Amino acid sequence: MRYAPTEYYENTDEEMISQEAFEFSVREDSPERLSARSPEGYKGLAGFHKYWGKKPTEAWRLLIERLTKPEDIVLDPFLGSGLVAKECTDLNRRFIGFDINPICLELTELYLSPPTHRELKSALQSLHKNLFPKVNSLYRLSTGDVATHILWEDSTIVKVWKKSGRCRVELIVDRDELRTFEDAHKYTPHNESNFRFFENSRINSKSNMEIDQLFTPRALEVIDRILDEITKTTGNTRRALRLILSAGLGQMSCMVFAVSKRGKARGIESKSIEVGSWVIGYWRPMQHFEVNALNCFENKANKLLKALNDLGPSRKASITADASVFFQNGKDCFLVLGDSEKLLQKLPAESVNVILTDPPHGDRIPYLELSEMWNGFLGYESDLSGELVISNAKTRNKDHITYTQKLLRIFSDCNRVLKNDGVIAIMFNARSTDHWESLHQLETETSFSFVGCYPMQYSAGSVVQDNRAGGLKSDYVLLYTKGLNSNNIQAISDHFKDLPSWSRALPARVSK
């Protein structure tokens, strides 16, 4: 069966950034304008997975190009989405990355060593052929039509659609048949899964929450069948397929908002009900969509296929989890899953040229709690005790004091492993003065000297983030160097003084 990109009408591009949403405000005549232009958005490899807190790749590239030279070693103790690792290897820099979240390491390895377009396409064709008949039977109506979208009002189905070309066509279905869909048999996943939820009102999580409260039995069965097929593959292709599944889980869930009356504020109210997206947190809206789970998987698969096709043949980075192999044998990347506070202690002193990092910003996102849906289905168990975060889940004992103390211990070890006159660039912002002060202690607790900063404005393309009261729309890039060498401080500043927004002073919020 031919496997080709398909076009979907639901809003699944929640991560896309507008062309104008981010800029360094570089002068029109600046020779570095192309390095600091507005980003192209989270496209290609960077766009297919919804990992929170991503920063535009152009932001990383600007720092790499201005602060390092080929073969320099760059460290990120908070790897996150792994996009900085990809930028480093593309620019012939060596890279060290740590993260406590298993999904982060998997994403990074995908970016650094993806399967070829042909390998992934072949695996997807086989998977589709084996799954299509059975999955269709789960969504098939008595008319023979296969439902692609089911609209729920709490526990009642009110509308059903099928796909016709690029459009949704509403089906006329009698109440008895809708009841059959509502009463779908219970399904217990047989793939090993361990989900841990906490009482956290901020993300609508309950300690007694079960995964079948977030997914219909149909979706759970499709997820299981996809995982079964994935076990037939190996290597980079298996990793890619598992990440495609995780990327589609949000749209497979009962947490997909139904959007109605769009345009009402502009006087052009739409009468149609549109398909929204899974947003941050475990909210199951009263009115929500159940989307055909195989379609969700294939939508994400086609995004990755297109990205690999656009990428073309590329050198796969050499990766190791052994520090001695990295330093002695010249591997491209040293990637390790774990608590960066512990892992940094294993690095040699003065072994890193530059540190580029976007640390967890206090209580903005409880990464591991939200990633539990991904890690659980993929069979990963994360070290929740070691996470650097402020969590509203009181049983986790992750408050501001423990956050600040841990962050300073990590930066203290960053100071130890950084070469003399090396640079650390930190992407940071916070609403709380306390959070700013926790970063401000860098100079008193380490030998880092502040060089300067510039604002990094961007949009996550998220309705929730962009419209939430008090939501932050930008970060600052704060530059520090090791030591008090005034000549070095001036030299680093000279690399960025062409940015009109460049400042040698701390942002007003943290100025003494």
Residue 474 tokens, joined: 């930008």
Q: What is the DSSP string of 328-357?
A: HH--SEEEEES-HHHHGGGSPTT-EEEEEE
CA dihedral 437, 508, 419, 77 (to 10 degrees): 50
pLDDT, residue 16, reads 29
C-alpha span between 10 and 277 (Å, rounded): 8
Burial 99-112 (b: 16+ CB within 10 A, else e): bbbbbbbbbbbbbb
Q: To the nearest 5 percent, what fractions of the chain are helix, strand and coil?
A: 40, 15, 40
Which residues, other chains included, contact 342 with Cβ-Cβ below 8 Å and sequence gap of 6+? 386
Neighbours of 494 (CB within 10 A): 10
Q: Which helix (H) or strand (E) holds 453?
A: strand 448-457
pLDDT 10s digit of each residue in the chain, 512 long? 333 333 333 333 333 222 223 333 333 334 344 334 455 567 788 888 988 878 888 889 999 999 999 999 999 999 999 999 999 999 999 999 999 999 999 999 999 999 999 999 999 999 999 999 999 999 999 999 999 999 999 999 999 999 888 888 999 999 999 998 898 878 888 887 789 999 999 999 999 999 999 999 999 999 999 999 999 999 999 999 999 999 999 999 999 999 886 555 555 555 688 898 888 899 999 999 999 999 999 999 999 999 999 988 888 999 999 999 999 988 999 999 999 999 999 999 999 999 999 998 877 788 999 999 999 999 999 999 999 999 999 999 999 889 989 999 999 999 999 999 999 999 987 767 777 777 777 788 888 999 999 988 665 444 444 454 545 556 889 999 998 888 999 999 999 999 888 999 887 655 44
Adjacent-strand bridge partners of 170: 161
Handedness of CA 234, 236, 237, 241 (dihedral sign): positive
Residue 367 tokens, joined: 């990464």
Domains annotated on the chain, with CATH = 33-103+323-510 (3.40.50.150), 117-311 (no CATH)
Handedness of CA 366, 468, 216, 228 (dihedral sign): negative
C-alpha span between 439 and 485 (Å, rounded): 21
368 within 8 A of 384, measured Cβ to Cβ? yes
Model-level pTM? 0.88
CA dihedral 226, 227, 231, 232 (to 10 degrees): -10
C-alpha span between 157 and 40 (Å, rounded): 40
Residue 491 tokens, joined: 């030299």
pLDDT, residue 52, reads 83
Q: What is the DSSP string of 178-240?
A: HHHHHTPPP----S--------BGGGTB-TT--GGGTS-HHHHHHHHHHHHHHTT--HHHHHH
Residue 141 tokens, joined: 């109506």
Which residues, other chains included, contact 264 with Cβ-Cβ below 8 Å and sequence gap of 6+? none
